A and B are shown apart, each in its own frame.
Chain A
Amino acid sequence: MIAHMLRPQSAESPWREPVIMAVVAVVMITLPWILPYVGGYPELATRILIWGIFALGFDLLVGFTGYLSFGHAAFWGIGAYCAGFYLLHGGMNALPAIIIGVVAATAISVLLGYLALRRYGIYFAILTLAFAEMFYYAALAPLQDWTGGDNGLTGIPTPVLAGIPLKGEVIHYFVVACAFLAVYFARRIVRSPFGLMLRAIKSNETRLRFTGINVYRYKVAAFVISGLYSGLAGTLYAIYETYVPTESLHWVTSGKVVMMSVIGGLGTLFGPMVGAGVVLYLEDVLSASTEQWLLIQGLIFMAFVVFLPGGVMEGLHRILSWIAWRRTDLPEIEGRRQAREGAHGAAPLQQRSR
């Protein structure tokens, strides 16, 4: 049944999707060469993609079902800790480390989803925040023999994949492959009937329940998929940094992915990845020139929430439609506007009134 539900609904040109994915691949691969032109450094590209996977997974839950989670650090951190723990004590091979990390994060997301999804709105945000903090404090004191307590997991060896050490350009291409697959599956999920269900939850959950659909199951599924993505990103983080700081379970990490997704634009998939780029780039540029970069980051985030809640993607959208408006006659715009609203009527950006 799930396989049937994941089949994309085809109502557009068959070329559209391959072209989009090709552009995504080109941008991801060339990112290390693009960044130095704007004041970044090549390694930043790998970090952006890792956080991009995280933000993508976050968006699959928050952007489409509307359930704002403040606890995604739990999945990221557990993925990172488990992968790091395996690499420290189990072996050098990256593949089992990733599998262990992802499985652990997914299992925890089933548990947390079961607990937190019984409530909605504010309750959900609070419960996810609280239970993620539980893992942070658990890693800090009671489990410190395994997690290294305050120091985090240090001295992780450079993992190998099929005999090749994962560092430098190799890890970048490896992360690109993961991110590409992540984007591909996320787009498949979102465009499938399953994705439609998630949007229906966002627009009116009660109505959906009245049509006889078991909403809870869809919510748990979305939460677990989101947790899986976050866990994958976390394991890649541990492999890339060869270090797991305690901060990876802290609310700061959850807050960071929230910021990335909001700045980029919730519910657009590419938006949160762009947001990851914006936040990490700003972090890099600002922290070099000022000590108060966290303050500036917070202010930028607030400015987006207040003035442009749809994030960068909504900004781009507005600019594009302004250009289109400049270039067309009035009657035609009305038609375009209607066409656009028709196409985007169910789009997650708009919160529909009940």
Chain B
Amino acid sequence: MTTGSLLLQLLTGLQFGAIYVLIALGLTLIFGTLGVANFAHGALFMIGAYLGWLISSATGYWLAFVLVPLLLFALGIVMERGLVQFFYRRPVTDQILVTFGLALVLQEVVRWMFGGTTKPFPPPSWALVPVNIGIGYYPPWRLVIIGVTIAIVVLLFLVLRYTRFGLVIRAGMRDPEMLRFLGINVSNRFTFVFGLGALLAGIAGVIGGPTTAVNPEIGMAMLVPSFLVVVIGGMGSLPGAILAGILMGEAVSLSVLIYPPIAQVIVYIVAAAVLLWRPRGLFGVKGVME
């Protein structure tokens, strides 16, 4: 194996990781602020991929890229106002159960509307032909995924770090009750955060759809590793989610080089190892969100 092919494989790992990162960031934002583990987050990814497939096959890819995240944002708001908000005062198990039920229902609605078969969702034609990037030929679409994810992550950090909204969200992740005492309308902003999480899942769906399969089961298949990314990163930690996402992506990608059948299992082995070593996750802090 040459250095070039190893580097290409690392790049592919980064791309796998990028999708996990986008989903996990949404999960961890929602969990951090609202305290809800959204088991329907995979379904949002799945809907994003389906909408991307629908819109891009009708009007071309760019419109899909703009429209899908906005639609998912709206769906997230509807979900939070229509269902999830009634569960903040209920036990954690009820929150898990209701979002899990919602995931099942969304999955079956999609199956009903579009059938259970995998839809062909090709990336735009210009991104199909591999280009020479110095270390070998590589499909540009995967580079687009990495690029978009980096841009989103940077944007998210800037917003959280330097805007008043970001300040409120960060404070909300620490202590929502205190925030409420300070006279800030927490619930409005948290609804927005839920929408933001859904939007991130939408972006992941529309750019990741061409590399993953577009079928009703993809939601749950993406949700489980993304949840693990959140847990090994340290629940509620955004840098942790990013680091863990990349770690997972690379683990999958490199295991393909060594022994392909293990690729689907490696995620869990890595997760078990990390959790044995650090039960709170890489960036988890004692006493925070436990």
Contact = CB atoms under 8 A, between A and B. Distances in A.
Interface string B151-190: 0000000000000000000000000000000000000000
A298 B105 contact: yes
Nearest to A139: B265
Contact of A258 (B31, B100, B105): B100
Contact of A298 (B31, B101, B272): B101
Contacts of A144: 261
Sort chain B's interface into a size bin: 35 or more
Interface string B92-108: 11101110111011001
B261 A305 contact: no
Contacts of A118: 275, 279
B276 interface: yes
A294 interface: yes
Contact of A305 (B101, B220, B263): B101
A295 B105 contact: yes
Contacts of A115: 272, 275-276
B101 A301 contact: yes
A291 B224 CA distance: 27
A130 B220 contact: no
Given A126-B227, A127-B231, A130-B268, 6 more contacts: A125-B37, A126-B37, A126-B230, A127-B275, A144-B261, A295-B108
B126 interface: no
A29 interface: no
B262 interface: yes
A131 interface: yes
A294 B268 CA distance: 28
Contacts of A309: 90, 94
A251 B224 contact: yes
Interface in B54-109: 83, 86, 90-94, 96-98, 100-102, 104-105, 108-109
A348 B213 CA distance: 42
A120 to B, nearest CB: 8
Contacts of B228: 126, 130
Given A131-B272, A134-B268, A302 B102 contact: yes
A262 interface: yes
A302 B104 CA distance: 9
A205 to B, nearest CB: 12
A119 B279 contact: yes
Nearest to B262: A142
Contacts of B111: 294-295
Pairs of residues from A and B, 4 with the lowest C-beta to C-beta distance, nearest first: A134-B268, A295-B108, A137-B264, A298-B104
Nearest to A122: B37
12 contacts: A68-B93, A68-B97, A120-B290, A126-B228, A126-B230, A127-B231, A133-B268, A134-B269, A141-B264, A291-B112, A302-B105, A305-B98
Nearest to A126: B227
A23 interface: no
Nearest to B90: A309
Contacts of B93: 62, 66, 68
A125 B86 CA distance: 21
A13 interface: no
Given A125-B37, A130-B228, A306 B98 contact: yes
Contact of A129 (B108, B224, B290): B224
